[in-house]
Amino acid sequence: MTQKLLEFEGVGKSFGGLRAIDNVSFSVHAGEIVGLIGPNGAGKTTLFALASGFLKPTDGQIRFDGKRVDGQTPPHICRAGLVRTFQIVKPFGEMTVLENAMVGAFLHHHRPADAREVAAGVLKQVGLGGREHQAAKTLTLSGRKRLEVAKALATHPKLLLLDEVMAGLTTVEIAGMVDLVHELRGAGISILVIEHNMKAVMNLSNRIVVIQYGKKIAEGSPVEVANDPQVISAYLGGEHAA
Ligand SMILES: Nc1ncnc2c1ncn2[C@@H]1O[C@H](COP(=O)(O)OP(=O)(O)OP(=O)(O)O)[C@@H](O)[C@H]1O
Ligand SMILES: [Mg+2]
């Protein structure tokens, strides 16, 4: 658990006059599930976009597997083994579930037959086995969230960034997603997960990082974070109570 897979060091991101991320430093170690929490608009998705190459930091460095990735393109970073899911799931609706997962698989597998085999495997892994040939748009929200995870898994990640894959799901569906995340970690994938559902994130995470207004305000075990006065006030004290 000592190898640092992903490291944010003094990372900042400004959008014009808005300081969306301010001097954030933390790491995700190999084999960990780390929770990233904070009120709406805190900057969580922006951190994912920075790590995965969709945005470039204004300050600081981001390293993955010991190498600088800030400023690299998403395909380059994905190829290195770091992939994100999107908060707003947008499958290619007219394409089948299998074809959607193949999009991820094509990153490393150029022969369609190979991509198809990898895609079928990850669909089974996320519980979408048997749904390969239906149009992606016919999946329920829970199915679309699982497909988003499958597309990411098809790129063979070392580290998976999951952005609110439980949002909008029922209690039973959330429990299923928590089990899936544990299984993925069991399969050797490290995970950084953004989640508003406190019970789920507390159950899942080895460590939790809390951000508010773009700054890290706490980091520790789920119990430490849940008892941190600054975290309690971030969630209960402002207009963004979750
Ligand atoms: N591309 C952008 N251009 C300008 N402002 C942006 C951009 N992306 C994010 N922001 C702003 O940066 C801040 C952080 O947004 P971000 O989406 O990272 O928050 P979040 O923590 O993921 O919130 P939520 O829990 O609601 O998903 C917000 O004030 C948002 O409006
Ligand atoms: Mg977000």
Return the domain boundaries, the chain.
1-78+159-242, 82-156
Residue 96 has what pLDDT? 96
Residue of minimum CA distance from atom 5 in ligand 1: 15
Number of neighbours of residue 101 by Cβ within 10 angstroms: 30
Q: Which residues surround ligand 2, an ion (CB under 5 A)?
A: 44-45, 87
Mean pLDDT calculated for residue range 42-60: 97
Mean pLDDT of all residues in 143-161: 96
H/E segment holding residue 53: none
Task: Read off φ and ψ for residue 20, nearest 5 degrees.
Answer: -75, -35
CATH architecture of 1-78+159-242: 3-Layer(aba) Sandwich (3.40)
| Residue 2 banded pLDDT, cuts 50, 70, 90 | low
Distance, in Å, from the CA atom of 48 to the CA atom of 43, rounded to the nearest integer, reads 9
Query: Is residue 242 very low, low, confident or very high in pLDDT (cuts 50, 70, 90)?
Result: very low
Residue to substitute in 24, 40, 46, 197 for testing ligand 1 pocket (most ligand atoms within 8 angstroms of CB): 46
Going by the DSSP 8-state scheme, the letter that residue 46 receives in this structure is H
Say how many Å lie between the CA of residue 65 and the centre of ligand 2: 25
Q: Is the CB of 42 under 6 A from ligand 1?
A: yes
Any idea which of 92-106, 137-151, 167-181, 226-240 has the lowest mean pLDDT? 226-240
pLDDT at 90: 80
CA dist list (Å): 2 to 6, 29, 54, 208: 12, 6, 28, 17
Tell me, using a 6 A CB cutoff, whether residue 20 lines ligand 1.
Answer: yes
Give the per-residue pLDDT at 1: 46
Q: What percent of the chain has pLDDT over 70?
A: 97
Task: Supply the pTM of this predicted model.
Answer: 0.93
Instruction: Indicate the pLDDT class of residue 241, thresholds 50, 70 and 90.
Output: very low
Question: Ligand 1 centroid vs 46 CA: distance in angstroms?
Answer: 6
Among protein residues, the one whose CA lies closest to atom 12 of ligand 1: 20
The answer to whether 58 and 43 have CB atoms below 8 angstroms apart is no
Q: What is the pLDDT of residue 238?
A: 55
| Range 226-236 average pLDDT | 88
The CA-based diameter of the chain, rounded to the nearest angstrom, is: 54
Residue 7: strand pairing partners: 27, 63
Q: What is the pLDDT of residues 6-50, one digit of tens each?
A: 999 999 999 999 999 999 999 999 999 999 999 999 999 999 999
**Residue pLDDT, tens place only, 174-226:** 999 999 999 999 999 999 999 999 889 999 999 999 999 999 999 999 999 99
Q: How far is the CA of 163 from the centre of ligand 2 (A)?
A: 7
The answer, yes or no, to whether any atom of ligand 1 lies below 6 A from the CB of 16, is: no
